Structure 1
């Protein structure tokens, strides 16, 4: 009897699936980053080009982490387009 794609997924170990293998490192790094961010609660002075603001360090770290995540999303979305142009 032919094996269907749903049968194949039922026999594939959970951590061997491609979606889980891509998501697991992201989840671990995100958890560690968020723990680090929320452990740093003291207020600090931050210079934003000209103005100097006082804000909690966790807020500044959370903003930097969010901007990094946005940059990562844009980078990962662009990658398949570059490879598809080369193969044509």
Structure 2
């Protein structure tokens, strides 16, 4: 049995593909976004459709990030 076949069967090939450069960049950007969100803890007033509410800025930023991620995932999935 060749070495390449042995590596595939042992799962080493799959681990190499787990950490691609693009995934590492996405993880770093996500970590930076979370750091930015949780550093902004002051209260802020927000008005969208409902009456004005006061809540921590990190909550508004995190909520916006989640909505953006869900929209991106929806359109990415729909394209396939």
Corresponding pairs, count: 77
TM-score with structure 1 setting the length: 0.69
- Cα RMSD after superposing both structures: 2.7
Tell me how far 1:23 sits from its aligned partner.
2.3
Match of 1:30 in 2: 30
Match of 1:20 in 2: 19
Give the unaligned 5+ runs of structure 2: none
Report if aligned partners of 2:8, 2:14 keep a CA contact under 8 Å in 1.
no
Tell me how far 1:12 sits from its aligned partner.
8.8
TM-aligned CA distance change 1:51 to 1:25, over 3 Å = same
Tell me how far 1:68 sits from its aligned partner.
1.0
Match of 1:47 in 2: 47
Match of 2:79 in 1: 79
Give the unaligned 5+ runs of structure 1: 81-88
TM-aligned CA distance change 1:13 to 1:52, over 3 Å = closer
